[in-house]
Amino acid sequence: MKRFLFMIMALAALGAATDAKAHGPSRLKVIKTIDVAAPPAKVWGIIADFDKINVWLPAVEKVDATGGNAPNSAKRVIHLKSGGDIEEALTRYSAEGMSYSYEITKVDPKVLPVNNYSSTITVSANPSGGSTVEWRGAFYRGFMNNDPPKELNDESSQAAVEGVYDLGLKTVKQLAEK
Amino acid sequence: MILALRPSNNLPRNKATSAVAAAWALGFALNACAPPQPCLWITNQEAGTVSVIDSSTDSVVDTILVGANPAGIAVGKTGRDVFVSIPGPNEVTFINGNTRKIVKRIPVPGGPLGMALDEIGGRLLVGEWYDNDVAVFDTRSLSLVGRIPVGQAPAGIAVTPDGALALVANRDSSTVSVIGLADLMVRTTVPVGTHPFGITVSPDGKQAWVAAVQDNSISVIDLESMRLIRSIPVGRTPYVIAFSIDGRLAFVTNQHDNTVTSVDVRTLSPVATAAVGEYPEGIMAHPDGKRLYVANWMSDTVSVIDIDGLKEEKTVKSGNGSRAFGRFLGDAQSYCTKD
């Protein structure tokens, strides 16, 4: 009887697993900014090239990219030092506005626990004569269904993205203020 | 107008609300020609709040803390019944729109998101995202009437003006379930564009327009033949659709373009595009026929758009993560007043 019950439960779990959603109902948002004591043009120079994120994001081992900074054609594959790849596509680019947007086209939630991720990074002048860099992202958590495991829930997904943004912005600041 | 004066549902009333209803009816009679100036109820997902905006001034007059991640909204015609879906803790919160107080928190375990009111039948329909069904509640007792199995990941829900049909956009099945509200049975399932999200019925009740998010198009369903009759290309990741009060134009929020596109309902072709905030989602026309409201999720704002020139004329700061997914104003509410 016990074995039978276990089998039923295993089947039910299997059923639930095959019913994976494209994403959950609630998109998450992370917005991080940092003030930099350097002119906007200098700061923009550090982040401007879509294929050189390795310069200012220390978690990146190397980048394989095509298409330069052309929106809707530029693509990059980020190879992380910790292992794992993230594939991304540039969707909007304005050198004049010192801003670009991109989307993750492929990632294993074990590498970064997100789905349907899109992001924008912008440099602007601030009143103190320096620059402000803003990095903002919109995404769904790593787990698609109800009752997510802790490592793929809203909080963990948000924390993972916040960690990336903090590291990147801090590095941009260090490089620009050198 | 007579319809508008009739109480739209059978929820228990206390003396205070009856008095307000009487005053409201009197005010309405005195201002028979003036368009209603209802409250807008904007769910702010990250803030865990609902912003109440007075449409006569386009300013925030109240902020109601509901907790967690409010997403969907369903406001009754008179503005007295306000339902908010909160997918995280799996509940629907019922707010008395007159007192702006939370009356009840209703458990809806399957991930409640899209909602619609069937005011003729006195029922609230709630899509359960994870359970692939629509939970039906009696709006008087707030008790569960039943569950209707639909497609995968039900998102937007709309009810026809005659109260005969409910339409459910099944995001992950790329279909629309057509439910007969008399017997709460699925009549048919219509294939539409990839990943439908928002769904809205035209004011004449003849068509349902669905935003096909991953197809960058609007799917138009003819409700007589129950067939997809047209796919209209719009901006990137269209989410929610609204109609003008006269029914001549439709408007869609394009989330990844940060725009609203207007479409001629007769010719089914796009007319104009307006820039709004980032990640626009909920959209509805004001009963004065002149204005459109759009909730911008990333920008934490509500755009006020002039329909004539299709241009954003004002931005109202609402709260973190404004979604307002659903009908967020009551067409027949004369004034945005509080008891």
DSSP state of B171: T
Side-chain-side CA neighbours of residue B148 (13 Å): 27
Give the chain B residue whose CA is nearest to the CA of A19: B152
Contact B172 A22 (CB under 8 A): yes
**What's the pLDDT tens digit per position in A23-70?**
777 899 999 999 999 999 999 999 999 999 999 999 999 999 999 999
pTM (2 decimals)?
0.87
Nearest CA to B164 out of B200, B195, B118, B196 is that of: B118
| Residue A15 contacts B where some CB pair is shorter than 8 Å | no
d(CA A31, CA B202): 37
* Mean pLDDT, rounded, for B312-328: 98
* pLDDT over 50 (residue A1): no
Give percent of chain A above pLDDT 70: 88
**What's the pLDDT tens digit per position in B58-86?**
999 999 999 999 999 999 999 999 999 99
> So what's the pLDDT on residue B31?
52
Cβ atoms within 10 Å of B315's Cβ, excluding its own: 16
Burial B19-57 (b: 16+ CB within 10 A, else e): ebbeebeeebeeeeeebbbbbbbbbbbbbbbbbbbbbbe
> So what's the pLDDT on residue A19?
55
Q: Name chain A contacts of B111, Cβ cutoff 8 Å.
A: 24-25, 146
Confidence of residue B187 (pLDDT cuts 50, 70, 90): very high
Confidence of residue B25 (pLDDT cuts 50, 70, 90): low
**What's the pLDDT tens digit per position in B206-242?**
999 999 999 999 999 999 999 999 999 999 999 999 9
> So what's the pLDDT on residue A15?
42
Give the chain B residue whose CA is nearest to the CA of A139: B298
d(CA B183, CA B86): 27
The CA–CA distances, whole Å, from B297 to B192, B255, B322 equal 26, 9, 4
Q: How far is B129 from chain A (nearest CA, A)?
A: 7
Max distance between CA atoms of chain A, in angstroms, equals 75
* Mean pLDDT, rounded, for B119-138: 97
Asked if residue B196 lies in contact with residue B174, where contact means CB atoms within 8 angstroms, the answer is yes
- Cβ neighbors of B325 (< 8 A, separation 6 or more) are B43, B71, B72, B73, B113, B114, B156, B198, B240, B281, B282
* pLDDT over 60 (residue B102): yes
* pLDDT over 80 (residue B298): yes
At B288, list the tokens.
């004065």
| Residue A128 contacts B where some CB pair is shorter than 8 Å | no
Strand partners, B127: B134
At B170, list the tokens.
């099944």
Place of tokens 């028979």: B32
* pLDDT over 70 (residue A12): no
Q: How far is B237 from chain A (nearest CA, A)?
A: 12
**What's the pLDDT tens digit per position in A116-158?**
999 999 999 999 899 999 999 999 999 888 888 888 899 999 9
Q: Name chain A contacts of B88, Cβ cutoff 8 Å.
A: 26, 154
> So what's the pLDDT on residue A146?
81
> So what's the pLDDT on residue B288?
96
Contact B129 A19 (CB under 8 A): no
Residue A120 main-chain phi, psi, to 5 deg: -135, 140
* Mean pLDDT, rounded, for A157-173: 97
* pLDDT over 50 (residue B10): no
| Residue A146 contacts B where some CB pair is shorter than 8 Å | yes
Contact A154 B88 (CB under 8 A): yes
> So what's the pLDDT on residue A13?
43
Kindly provide the residue ranges of all beta strands, DSSP E only, lying in B56-159, ordered along the sequence.
Answer: 59-65, 72-75, 81-86, 91-96, 101-107, 112-118, 123-128, 133-138, 144-149, 154-159
The strand pair at B112-118 and B101-107 is best described as unpaired
Q: Name chain A contacts of B321, Cβ cutoff 8 Å.
A: 29
| Residue A19 contacts B where some CB pair is shorter than 8 Å | yes
Measured between CB atoms, which of A25, A91, A154 is closest to B113?
A25
Q: Name chain A contacts of B279, Cβ cutoff 8 Å.
A: 138
Written as one string, the DSSP assignment of B6-18 is S--S-----HHHH
Strand partners, B43: B50
Confidence of residue B16 (pLDDT cuts 50, 70, 90): very low
Give percent of chain B above pLDDT 70: 90
* pLDDT over 60 (residue B245): yes
Give the chain B residue whose CA is nearest to the CA of A146: B130
- How many interchain CB pairs under 8 A, A with B? 42
Burial of A5 (0-12, 13-18, 19+ CB in 10 A): exposed
Q: Name chain B contacts of A146, Cβ cutoff 8 Å.
A: 110-111, 130
0.90 surpassed by complex ipTM: no
Q: Name chain A contacts of B130, Cβ cutoff 8 Å.
A: 21, 145-146
Is the Cα dihedral A154, A155, A161, A162 positive or negative?
A: positive
* Mean pLDDT, rounded, for B126-154: 97
Q: Any idea of the CA torsion for B308, B313, B317, B320, to the nearest 10 degrees?
A: 60
d(CA B209, CA A78): 39
Q: Name chain B contacts of A27, Cβ cutoff 8 Å.
A: 45, 297
| Chain B residues interacting with chain A (CB cutoff of 8 angstroms) | 45-46, 69, 71, 87-88, 110-111, 113, 129-130, 132, 152-153, 171-172, 195, 256, 279, 297-298, 320-321
